[in-house]
Chains A and B, each alone.
Chain A
Amino acid sequence: MSDANIEVLRLEALRKTYNPGLPNATEVLHGIDLRIGRSDFAALVGPSGSGKSTLLNLIGLLDKPSSGELYLRGQPTSGMDDAGLTALRGSAIGFVFQFHHLIQAFTAIDNVLMPLMLARGKPCAQDVQRAQDLLAAVGLKKYADAKPNQLSGGQQQRVAIARALVTEPALLLADEPTGNLDTHTASEVFELFRLFNRERGCAILLVTHDPRLAPMCDRNINLVDGYIVSDTKN
């Protein structure tokens, strides 16, 4: 890893077991070691059931590993409590989900502002400006006051991307972000990721099934049955 590519995430011997101690205990991840740098634009690929989503949840601090250590921006996370994890997640990580998951009761701009409001309360003018800029960057300047149900699937996903980026996270996690979009919209969304990775220096980790998407990323991490079987640069 070059100097310019500062480490954002490091996994050391990360394991995850579901139902530990029970007869139906299953280890899903068998000691994952992984480093992701600031300029990385990586795709996490693998067949279903390989543990991709589990790994993504662990990286996103939504779930806790059974053993091993996860460093986010150099900070070990195993000893942190729920409040600490929530705060770190809020500031360091952005999420984009497959089903564009916006809060239906709020307008596009409020959805984009939500992570800031949750972290700091009432947004200041600067925050609002940043949210507007992000909406403009994803091409939705006109739709700031639209409710999610007035937007198309692709538009909603772009709002979700703007929301994920509003806290200027070090790492953006996307779980099948183009999963239920048509080809054209999917490539538009993909280009946005590319743009933010380049211009804002935000590391991106995509989980995808899409055979066309993975080769377009800089790096492919292949997960099979809870092991990383290959990690290649394209």
Chain B
Amino acid sequence: MRLLRSLWTEWILAMGFLREGRAQSVMIMIGVAVGVAVIVFVTALIQGLQANIIERTLGTQAHIRLLSSDEVNVLLPAPAGTQLLVQEDKRAQRLRSINNWQQISATLDQLPNLTAVSPVVSGPAFVRRGEALESVALVGIDLTRYQQIIPLQRYVVSGQLRVGADDVVIGKLLADDLGVRVGSKLRLDTGQQNSAVVNIAGIFELGVRELDSRFVYLDLRQAQSLLGLPGGVTVIELTVANIFEADVIAAQIERLTSLNAESWIETNAQLMNALTAQSLSTNMIIVFVAISVAFGIASVLSVSVVQRTREIGILRATGATREQILKVFLIQGAVFGLCGSFIGIAVSYALVWVFNTLGPGLFYIPLSKTLVSLSLLLATLTGVLAAAVPSRRASRLDPVVAIRYV
């Protein structure tokens, strides 16, 4: 408030000048508005698009998967003075439980940057119905914990989401291939002298072909016994609060547990690449639009300074300091930025509304308050910065010369 009061005269002068050069002021504000509208709309569009892509990708997978490290051959060190020549075959990786998984899982539950921890046992199996035979992936889950990783309930297309007591939930494509529906029976065979007849309680459709044609969700205990891993789990799946920190958190957990931690960023490197490139191009657009807006403001104010040379001289003669003249023009720049961005934001709200209600409806564009307030702030700042050069020139005018300027 004190700042405003101390700028009162400068503010009044700036407003007077803006009002007098109405046509110019309106035109440059429209220019700023177009720039801000483009920036806000494009940013919101890309944010919406990326959020959509990420949600589609991460909606069906964990952010981080913890697996036990591969088994390796341990070689006896050669005695001193001898050289060891080894022809080694890598060991076949059998299905193995994570050592001490209960303890690890309990520890992970305590970590603040993880939002969900779900131990899973998964392994290969055949499912047989009559003559038909399909290879599937058995996924034994603790339903409540697993739901925090993948909200299965959302993807159930028929029946109920229920595992346990011989109930399983299978993918839609698998159900189609086998010609089964809710209530049908299936024989699961893991090739470990273990087989079971289970009841299809529900059918899901995740929208990912690989998963919909292969996944069979069943109770953790039943899967353990079918896969011959009583009491064991093969994977611990995790979700994190900030998905873009998944790789960093994965590295931390790897050091903490000495398990293999795979983050979604690693397993979806291509996607990350695309997202990064997209963000880069958005930022380029923002920077270049902002630069052209800044030059627009600067050129309008430069012209204004020349037009007002004589008035600046009079003001100096009647007691205006250099700083006051400087501020008068800086304020004009700020007002161009602020008012222009208000109009621009209104326009981008309209664009977003049109896109969300009348557009192709492929995804939803959110317009966040942060984006709006940030662009207001940025546009105002750009206005002030753009005004710096003309303002400086105005404040340095020699009053003697300025007064005689015609």
Contact = CB atoms under 8 A, between A and B. Distances in A.
B9 A118 contact: yes
Contact of A86 (B9, B13, B19, B319): B319
Contact of B6 (A86, A105, A121): A121
A1 interface: no
A230 B19 CA distance: 50
A103 B16 CA distance: 9
Interface in B317-333: 317-324
Interface in A110-154: 110, 114-115, 117-119, 121-122
A87 B323 CA distance: 12
B311 A103 contact: yes
Interface in B1-29: 5-6, 8-9, 12-13, 16-17, 19-20
Given A101-B310, A105-B19, A87 B5 contact: no
Contacts of B403: 62, 97, 101
Among A87, A90, A103, A114, the one with the most B-chain Cβ atoms within 10 Å of its Cβ is A103
Given A103-B311, A105-B17, A117-B12, A62 B400 contact: yes
Contact of A117 (B5, B6, B9, B20): B9
A155 interface: no
Contacts of B313: 101
Given A82-B321, A90-B319, A57 B9 contact: no
Given A63-B400, A101-B310, A105-B19, A89 B317 contact: yes
Interface in B173-195: none
Among B315, B317, B403, the one with the most A-chain Cβ atoms within 10 Å of its Cβ is B317
Contacts of A62: 316-317, 399-400, 403
Contacts of A101: 310-311, 313-314, 403
A103 B400 contact: no
Mostly, the B contact residues are helix
A95 interface: yes
B318 A95 contact: yes
Contact of A122 (B5, B19, B316, B324): B5
B316 A86 contact: yes
B398 to A, nearest CB: 8
B319 A89 contact: yes
Nearest to B7: A121
A208 interface: no
A95 B317 contact: yes
Interface residues of A, number: 29
A90 B318 contact: yes
A97 B314 contact: yes
Nearest to B323: A83
A10 interface: no
Interface string A96-107: 010001111110
Nearest to B324: A118
Interface residues of B, number: 27
Contacts of B310: 101
Nearest to A54: B400
A6 B12 CA distance: 38
A103 B315 contact: yes
Interface in B254-298: none
Nearest to A163: B318
Contacts of A91: 319
A177 interface: no
Nearest to A164: B318
A63 B403 CA distance: 12
Interface string A68-98: 0000000000000011001101110001010
Contact of B16 (A63, A89, A106, A118): A106
Contact of B9 (A83, A97, A102, A122): A122
A82 B322 contact: yes
Interface string B391-406: 0000000011001000
Contacts of A106: 16
Nearest to B313: A101
Among B8, B9, B315, the one with the most A-chain Cβ atoms within 10 Å of its Cβ is B9
A167 interface: yes
A65 interface: no
A210 B157 CA distance: 101
Contact of A115 (B12, B319, B323, B400): B319
Interface of A: 57, 60, 62-63, 82-83, 86-87, 89-91, 95, 97, 101-106, 110, 114-115, 117-119, 121-122, 163, 167
Interface of B: 5-6, 8-9, 12-13, 16-17, 19-20, 310-311, 313-324, 399-400, 403
18 contacts: A62-B316, A62-B403, A86-B319, A86-B320, A86-B321, A86-B322, A97-B403, A101-B313, A103-B13, A104-B20, A105-B17, A115-B318, A117-B12, A118-B319, A118-B324, A121-B8, A122-B8, A167-B319
* 7 pairs of A and B residues whose beta carbons are closest in the complex: A90-B319, A105-B16, A105-B20, A117-B9, A115-B318, A122-B8, A118-B319
Given A105-B20, A163-B318, 12 more contacts: A62-B316, A86-B319, A86-B322, A89-B317, A97-B403, A103-B13, A114-B318, A117-B9, A117-B12, A121-B5, A122-B5, A122-B9
